[in-house]
């Protein structure tokens, strides 16, 4: 039986697809600081302005950023609320406790030092 996707499934697919690319994640991180002109967004990357524009289009389609023209300059702005649906979906997995690596290492150290077979103590 096929599970019926929820109303937000296509939105989540688009958001996660947009986030899957490291260049787009870097762009989002840059926009955390402030709104930026498209040319300023493109500056740190070794790719054409057309390639950056494609990345920006994908982010815009996913609702993660908005773009508007101010005079002759196109500006990009982060839309943080767009991540809300993805965040809510991921919180569903929050029931699993994160692994405390230090406690796990202590447990392993104790287990490795302890005799493995009760007959070994005799």
What is the second-level CATH architecture of the domain 9-114?
Orthogonal Bundle (1.10)
> Coil, strand, or helix at residue 24?
helix
Strand pairing of 73-78 and 36-37?
antiparallel
> pLDDT confidence of 9, banded at 50, 70, 90?
very low
Q: Enumerate helices (H) and strands (E) in the chain, giving the number of each.
A: 6, 3
Question: pLDDT: is 45 or 88 the higher one?
Answer: 45
- Average pLDDT of the chain to the nearest whole number: 83
Q: What is the pLDDT of residues 54-75, one digit of tens each?
A: 999 999 999 999 999 999 999 9
Domain-wise residue ranges, the chain: 9-114
Alpha-carbon distance of 58 to 17, in angstroms, equals 9
Q: What is the pLDDT of residues 74-95, one digit of tens each?
A: 999 999 888 888 888 888 777 6
* pLDDT in the model for residue 87: 84
- Residue 76: count other Cβ atoms within 10 Å of its Cβ: 23
Residue reference for tokens 């979906």 = 89
């Amino acid at each position: 039986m096929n599970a019926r996707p929820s109303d937000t499934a296509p939105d989540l697919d688009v958001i996660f697809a947009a986030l899957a690319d490291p260049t787009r994640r870097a762009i989002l991180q840059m926009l955390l600081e402030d709104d930026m002109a498209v040319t300023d967004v493109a500056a740190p990357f070794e790719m054409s302005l057309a390639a950056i524009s494609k990345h920006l289009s994908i982010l815009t389609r996913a609702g993660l950023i908005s773009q508007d023209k101010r005079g002759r300059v196109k500006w990009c702005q982060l839309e943080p609320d767009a991540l809300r649906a993805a965040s809510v979906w991921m919180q569903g997995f929050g029931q699993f406790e994160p692994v405390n690596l230090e406690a796990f290492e202590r447990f392993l150290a104790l287990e490795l030092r302890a005799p493995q077979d009760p007959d070994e103590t005799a």
